[in-house]
């Protein structure tokens, strides 16, 4: 049974989500403090964390950054509805995706399942061998990537995005296709999640000798991993 940790100081709402998700087949624990949530998230007992951006003892983004120092566990953040700043800060801090509050338990469960599906092996077609795109190698089953033979430190969503680009190296991949395959949901209007994740991946890849990024933005179309 998949174990989920909810870190949220809204006792009533967290209890509602816990009850719904348990009825939906998940095992759920709840904590209302950021520091205790951080410790539990790093315990190795959970497959996914739901983290509120506003907590009484410490900011949710700070909790997330501390988690990311030690773990790649998928993190879904609660953000204020309509607050783009919260969403971007959460994504830049290492969140895999976000859900604006208030949201329905059904929507939350759907987001969880989408993230969990993408953390599992996604391509039987490549077998046990790596996907190779120039200096980039990706082992889908192991959820491992290397760049110039150095292991990459990627969040779950960053891995999904880079994997999708590598499987389509040299071809433009639309933002909607990336959202569907990496986040498990259609791209929403004005949603900048893909752009923020791509910015983080670019920083980790660095630049080519001529100063250009290995991931090119094709305005109005999408992104392209260039061939070496």
Q: Is the pLDDT of residue 146 over 50?
A: yes
Q: Which domains does the chain have, with CATH numbers?
A: 3-118 (3.40.50.2300), 124-225 (1.10.10.10)
Across the range 83-88, mean pLDDT stands at 81
Task: Name the CA dihedral angle for 27, 33, 36, 42, rounded to a multiple of 10 degrees.
Answer: 60
Contact 49, 8 (CB under 8 A): no
Across the range 156-167, mean pLDDT stands at 93
- Rounded Cα distance, 51 and 69, in Å: 16
Place of tokens 């996604």: 122
Helix ranges (DSSP H) in the chain: 11-23, 34-41, 60-68, 84-92, 105-118, 156-167, 175-178, 193-205
Chain centroid to CA 10: how far? 23
DSSP secondary structure, 121-141, as one string: ---GGGTTSPEEETTEEEETT
Cβ-based neighbours of 44, under 8 Å, separated by 6 or more: none
Q: Which of 21-35, 51-65, 80-94, 163-177 has the lowest mean pLDDT?
A: 80-94
pTM of the model: 0.78
- Rounded Cα distance, 175 and 198, in Å: 11
Which residues make beta-bridge pairs with 78? 52, 99
Looking at residue 82, its pLDDT comes to 64
Looking at residue 184, its pLDDT comes to 82
What is the average pLDDT value for the chain, to the nearest integer? Answer: 90
Q: In the structure encoding, which two tokens stand for residue 123, read together?
A: 């391509």
pLDDT in tens, 97-117: 999 888 899 999 999 998 888
Contact 68, 154 (CB under 8 A): no
Across the range 132-154, mean pLDDT stands at 92
Which residues make beta-bridge pairs with 49? 5, 75
Q: Is the pLDDT of residue 65 over 70?
A: yes
Q: What are phi and psi of 156, to 5 degrees?
A: -60, -45
Q: Which of 1-10, 61-70, 94-103, 121-130 has the lowest mean pLDDT?
A: 121-130
Return the number of other C-beta atoms located less than 10 Å from residue 226's C-beta: 15
Q: Which of 6-10, 118-122, 174-178, 208-212 has the lowest mean pLDDT?
A: 118-122
Looking at residue 1, its pLDDT comes to 82
- Rounded Cα distance, 157 and 15, in Å: 27
Q: In the structure encoding, which two tokens stand for residue 20, read together?
A: 């719904």
Place of tokens 């491992």: 144
Reported as a pLDDT band with limits 50, 70 and 90, residue 220 is confident
Reported as a pLDDT band with limits 50, 70 and 90, residue 127 is low
Q: Is the pLDDT of residue 125 over 70?
A: no
Q: What are phi and psi of 199, to 5 degrees?
A: -60, -40
Q: Is the pLDDT of residue 169 over 80?
A: yes
Q: Which residue has the higher pLDDT, 19 or 188?
A: 19
Q: Do you find a cis peptide bond into 158, omega within 30 degrees of 0?
A: no
- Rounded Cα distance, 217 and 196, in Å: 13
């Amino acid at each position: 049974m998949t174990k989920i940790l909810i870190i949220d100081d809204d006792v009533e709402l967290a209890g509602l989500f816990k009850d719904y998700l348990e009825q939906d087949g998940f095992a759920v624990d709840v904590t209302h403090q950021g520091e205790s949530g951080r410790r539990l998230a790093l315990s190795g007992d959970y497959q996914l964390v739901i983290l509120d951006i506003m907590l009484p003892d410490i900011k949710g983004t700070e909790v997330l950054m501390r988690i990311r120092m030690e773990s790649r566990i998928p993190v879904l953040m609660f953000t204020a509805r309509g607050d783009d700043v919260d969403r971007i800060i959460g994504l830049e801090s290492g969140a895999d995706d976000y859900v604006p509050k208030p949201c329905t338990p059904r929507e939350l469960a759907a987001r969880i399942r989408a993230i969990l599906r993408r953390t599992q092996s996604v391509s039987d077609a490549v077998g046990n061998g790596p996907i190779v795109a120039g200096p980039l190698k990706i082992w889908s089953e192991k959820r491992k990537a290397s760049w110039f033979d150095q292991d990459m430190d990627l969040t779950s969503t960053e891995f999904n995005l880079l994997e999708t680009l590598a499987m389509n190296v040299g071809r433009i991949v639309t933002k909607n296709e990336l959202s569907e395959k990496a986040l498990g949901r259609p791209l929403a209007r004005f949603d900048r999640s893909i752009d923020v994740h791509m910015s983080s991946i670019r920083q980790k890849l660095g630049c080519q000798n001529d100063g250009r990024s290995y991931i090119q933005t094709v305005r109005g179309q999408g992104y392209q991993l260039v061939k070496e």
